[in-house]
Structure 1
Amino acid sequence: MSAAEFDDALFEQVSEVVSPGTAILTLSTKNLNRITAVERKGVWVETERSMSIGSGPQLLPAWMIATAWARLCDKGELSQQELLNELNVKRSAFVCALVAKFPDVHIRSTRPTVLELQD
């Protein structure tokens, strides 16, 4: 397994909260994202824009979700700004919305988006 793929635990966790057809709204702007597939290498996502222009789903690489989850577990909280600016995760709004679906994750605020890990 490479760093470009989910480990077993995170793959299982992601698979439990989303599956093909799942719609996720980003937390602050409520933009629609539809999951088309969950694979070891990441999650395939269609946005309202990609649906409207017919460009098809884009792969959200597993490392982006793994990075967000690791930081949240390490610090107990994670902001979308931190994810975007410090960790260089470009699809930060979607990643936050996905991670917010995990058990034990609480949405502290949506403007700005801040998640925290519950004990």
Structure 2
Amino acid sequence: MVQPGDEISTLTTKRPNVIAAIGPDGIWVETLRSDRRRSGPQLVPAWMIVAGWRQLQQKGVLTHAELLGDLNVKRSAFVVALLAQFTDVVVRSSHPIVLQLIGGPQP
């Protein structure tokens, strides 16, 4: 999977997200914006990643709009980029972003 030091680019704009740390509360991510502001890595709470993964498992597809609007995930660009790294997930579209679970929905 991912580990500190790994870089994951967003799917649409290809902006880098560098994983600074991984913990029980979530993943700490350094972005160009946080680097420019010198604010340090920002936490992407674990619940945001879990919410996206559960939705993808239940429906078999996940859109960026769903993640941002329906699930209220504010670090949605990173979350979809992270989920796209999973071996059983493919990017069906990058404009708009649509992820698909290989094999369809999981019970």
| TM-score of the pair, normalised by structure 1 | 0.85
Q: Which residue of 1 aligns with 2:95?
A: 111
**Aligned counterpart, 1:41:** 25
Which of 85, 96, 102 is 2:69 aligned to? Answer: 85
State the alpha-carbon separation in 2 of the partners of residues 95 and 112 from structure 1. Answer: 15
Is there any run of 5+ residues in structure 2 with no aligned partner, and where?
none
Q: Structure 2 matches for 1:1-80, cutoff 5 A?
A: 17-80=1-64
Q: Match for 1:102: what amino acid?
A: F
Q: Report the TM-score when normalising by structure 2.
A: 0.94
Tell me, what secondary structure is at the counterpart of 1:114?
Answer: strand
The runs of 4+ residues in structure 1 deviating greater than 4 Å are none
Distance 1:105 1:118 in 2: 6
More helix by share: 1
Identity over aligned pairs, percent: 55
Specify every segment of 5 or more residues in structure 1 that has no aligned partner in the other structure, as ranges.
Answer: 1-16
| Aligned partner letter, 1:49 | R
Aligned equivalents of 2:47, 2:32: Cα separation in 1: 23
2:80 and 2:3 mapped to 1: Cα distance?
17
In the alignment, the residues of structure 1 paired with residue 62 and residue 11 of structure 2 have an alpha-carbon distance, to the nearest angstrom, of: 13
Aligned length: 103
> AA paired with 1:93?
A
